[in-house]
Amino acid sequence: MAAPAVPGAARLLAASAGRRPRAQAKGARLVAVTSVRGCRLEAACDMAVHLPLERELCPWGLAPVTSAAAQMLFGDTVAIALMQARAPAPADALPRPRARRRAAWPWER
């Protein structure tokens, strides 16, 4: 499970605490991705990843552009590393439902 460090994230984690034992029973670990060292979210998780953030691009601090980009880059990097480590075969892909054939347009008849 991953928990982003946003305002109220510790409350969000506490609200989903009922899911945590079920996830841990399946071998999942809780990882906090944060730019604030020593926050409550970091203390509540099994592991923490610190993404350094000097400042946001928005001069008023209203749009979390820099931190969102850093978290997306980190998440994509982890996903690619996990896929390469697992080396999934084409047979591992989930089956896609078949699309219905649409009716032909009048000019296609």
Q: What string of DSSP letters covers 56-84?
A: -SSTTS-S-HHHHHHHHHHHHHHHHHHHH
Higher pLDDT, 20 or 32: 32
Dist. CA 29–CA 23, nearest whole Å: 8
- 21-35, 42-56, 93-107, range with greatest mean pLDDT: 42-56
**pLDDT at 70 (0 to 100):** 86
Domains for the chain: give ranges and CATH numbers.
2-86 (3.40.50.10490)
> Is the pTM of the predicted complex or chain greater than 0.85?
no
